[in-house]
């Protein structure tokens, strides 16, 4: 595996501006991936792929030549119309911009009508569907000791600021953040990277009810270094997402996920504790051996490529081939089930600081030798389900009917509700809910008389598997007594009830 620098002949080597990262996506759905480059001291560039190994800067003609101290950008199909849109962030209180893709090679500034006007010092923007309603939500990491922002998508092209109610404001000097399901409960958790003034990084665990809990100390991922970026990846293929954190001063950190909600810092022993200044980084399997490799973009030093030496754990890589959704499959949700291993991944259009990981989705499987099922939830609303897959291979999953192996259907899932473990000594019970179709409904814990003990969630539930944690307390915050209870879901078309026992 030898690489050759072709930036010059390709037409993307611009020496005139101070670049602040780049993001890849096929914005015009022509089958060739395009490149957006953020510049701090000049207009941003959109390099259209000509399909012959060269690119043309079309930013001005496309309407995305943002020229306001650019700091970051991220691709997203926020309205799920089949074309990727673009969000750019700017520094020193200059406004961020949401560009809607018009589908004709041009973009429109819809920031105001979307409800995303913001004059903070935004370092990074990252999209993730934290509430599992099928629409990407937006988290902004802000510097200058300004509160970060979480904007929930309303599903109609507008957003609501839910930072306060969600509990993820974090008023440190944030440089970036990263979404990832580190505890495998099928919802996205959030890690925030802070720098300056001894502000430590923060891990927010998603409670499954629209709120988050700061679990930094319990998890063991506190870092007082001058943080710059973070990414969730399963570097050792054990089935649990690990966390890599880059720092500008001091060594980078690799937090190995122990599988019990805690982490162990192993950067030195794994050989990735770079002690220079790291500006950005990305993970991807460059040599196709099933283990994620790491590339560091450094400051005033030679960039570094770390080859992952691997182990005996198994893996699965998924390349997506859309036909209705955006051509890069950005925003696609993937759920994997293999025995006691579950995994949640999203295809992202930018994460961490100035960075973006591979568009090929990677799952570690530990000692599992086959995959029970893989569910692919496309932005179009189509669900593709595959069963009994092999391991240690890359598969291509197509959207739309493409034969028996990769069949796309609205959902073949059987309805189910249950509580794990059962019986349970409640400190944190896990409620599993499977819906064959999207429903508006309410999920509650009820007693043997059918009386509501605790309401867990009410509203829209997408098709597929949902996971909710419950701490054994009622709506008033009091511990419920031991006995028989039911996890109860009531929708307009479906009523499910699962019996379980609490032991005190």
3-class SS at 34? strand
Scored b (16 or more CB within 10 A) or e, 256-274 reads bbeeeeebebbbeebebbb
Let me know if residue 344 belongs to a domain: yes
| CATH value at residue 325 | 2.60.40
Let me know if residue 25 belongs to a domain: no
Let me know if residue 62 belongs to a domain: no
Report the first-to-last Cα separation within the chain, whole angstroms: 59
Q: How many residues does the chain have?
A: 504
Q: How far apart are CA 2 and CA 448, in angstroms?
A: 66
Let me know if residue 267 belongs to a domain: no
How many C-beta atoms surround the C-beta of residue 488 within 10 A?
22
Q: Tell me how many degrees the CA angle 421-423-427 measures, rounded to the nearest 5.
A: 65
Return the percentage of the chain with pLDDT > 90, whole number: 62
Of the three residues 398, 433, 461, the one that is the final residue of a domain is 398
Q: Quote the DSSP letter at residue 428.
A: S
Q: How far apart are CA 349 and CA 223, in angstroms?
A: 26
Let me know if residue 347 belongs to a domain: yes
Of the three residues 352, 369, 398, the one that is the final residue of a domain is 398
Q: Identify the domain containing residue 495 by its residue range.
A: 416-502
- Are 494 and 430 in the same domain? yes
- Are 319 and 380 in the same domain? yes
Q: Quote the DSSP letter at residue 242.
A: E
Output the pLDDT for position 120. Answer: 82
- Are 394 and 444 in the same domain? no
Q: Which tokens sit at 432? A: 């599993």
Output the pLDDT for position 411. Answer: 41
Output the pLDDT for position 403. Answer: 29
Strands (E) across 462-504 are located at 464-470, 483-491, 495-502
Output the pLDDT for position 406. Answer: 39
Q: Indicate the number of domains in the chain.
A: 2
Let me know if residue 446 belongs to a domain: yes
| CATH value at residue 452 | 2.60.40.4070
Let me know if residue 277 belongs to a domain: no
- Are 376 and 334 in the same domain? yes
Pairing of the two strands 393-398 and 314-321: parallel
Are 244 and 281 spatial neighbours (Cβ–Cβ below 8 Å)?
yes
The H helix count followed by the E strand count for the chain is 6, 38
Of the three residues 398, 428, 450, the one that is the final residue of a domain is 398
Q: Which tokens sit at 371? A: 């995959």
**Residue matched to tokens 């670049």:** 19
Phi-psi region of 429 (alpha: psi -120 to 50; beta: other; left: phi over 0): beta
Let me know if residue 237 belongs to a domain: no
Output the pLDDT for position 68. Answer: 77
Q: Which tokens sit at 74? A: 């991220």
Output the pLDDT for position 351. Answer: 85
Q: How far apart are CA 227 and CA 200, in angstroms?
A: 8
Q: Per DSSP, what are the bridge partners of residue 380?
A: none
- Nearest by Cα to 58 from 79, 82, 37, 85: 37
Q: Please list the ranges in the chain whose pLDDT falls under 50.
A: 401-412
């Amino acid at each position: 595996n030898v690489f050759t620098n072709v930036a010059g002949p390709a037409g993307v080597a611009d020496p005139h501006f101070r670049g602040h990262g780049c993001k890849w996506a096929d914005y015009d759905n022509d089958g060739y991936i395009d490149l957006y480059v953020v510049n701090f001291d000049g207009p941003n560039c959109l390099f259209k792929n000509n399909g012959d190994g060269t690119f043309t800067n079309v930013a001005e003609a496309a309407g995305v030549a943002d020229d306001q101290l650019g700091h970051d950008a991220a691709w997203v199909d926020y309205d799920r119309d089949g074309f990727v849109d673009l969000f750019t962030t700017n520094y020193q209180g200059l406004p961020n911009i949401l560009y809607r893709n018009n589908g004709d090679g041009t973009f429109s500034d819809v920031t105001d009508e979307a409800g995303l006007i913001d004059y903070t010092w935004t370092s990074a923007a990252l999209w993730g569907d934290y509430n599992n309603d099928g629409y990407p939500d937006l988290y902004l990491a802000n510097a200058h000791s300004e509160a970060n922002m979480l904007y929930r998508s309303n599903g109609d092209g507008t957003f609501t600021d839910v930072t306060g109610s969600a509990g993820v404001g974090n008023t440190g000097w944030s440089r970036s953040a990263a979404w990832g399901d580190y505890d495998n409960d099928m919802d996205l958790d959030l890690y925030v990277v802070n720098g300056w003034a001894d502000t430590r990084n923060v891990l927010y665990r998603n409670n499954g009810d629209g709120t988050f809990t700061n679990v930094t100390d319990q998890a063991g991922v506190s870092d007082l270094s001058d943080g710059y970026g973070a990414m969730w990846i399963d570097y050792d293929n054990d089935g649990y997402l690990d966390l890599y954190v880059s720092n500008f001063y001091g060594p980078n950190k690799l937090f190995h996920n122990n599988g019990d909600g805690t982490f162990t810092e192993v950067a030195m022993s794994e050989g990735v504790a770079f002690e220079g200044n790291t500006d950005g980084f990305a993970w991807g399997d460059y040599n196709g051996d099933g283990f994620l490799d790491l590339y560091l973009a450094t400051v005033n030093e030679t960039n570094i490529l770390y080859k992952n030496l691997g182990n005996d754990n198994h893996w699965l890589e998924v390349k997506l081939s859309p036909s209705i959704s955006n051509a890069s499959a950005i925003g696609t949700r993937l759920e994997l089930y293999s025995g006691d291993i579950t995994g949640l991944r999203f295809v992202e259009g930018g994460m961490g600081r100035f960075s973006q990981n591979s568009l090929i989705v990677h799952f570690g499987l530990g000692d599992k030798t086959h995959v029970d099922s893989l569910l692919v939830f496309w932005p179009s609303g189509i669900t593709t389900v595959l069963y009994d897959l092999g391991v240690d291979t890359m598969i291509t999953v197509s959207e739309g009917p493409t034969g028996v192996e990769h069949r796309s259907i609205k959902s073949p899932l059987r309805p189910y509700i249950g509580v794990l473990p059962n019986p349970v000594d409640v400190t944190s019970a896990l409620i599993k809910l499977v819906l064959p179709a999207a429903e508006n409904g309410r999920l509650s814990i009820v007693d043997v008389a059918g009386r509501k003990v605790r309401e867990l969630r009410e509203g829209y539930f997408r098709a597929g598997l949902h996971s909710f944690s419950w701490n054994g307390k009622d709506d008033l915050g009091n511990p419920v007594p031991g006995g028989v209870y039911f996890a109860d879901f009531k929708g307009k078309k479906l009523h499910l009830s699962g019996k379980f026992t609490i032991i005190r």
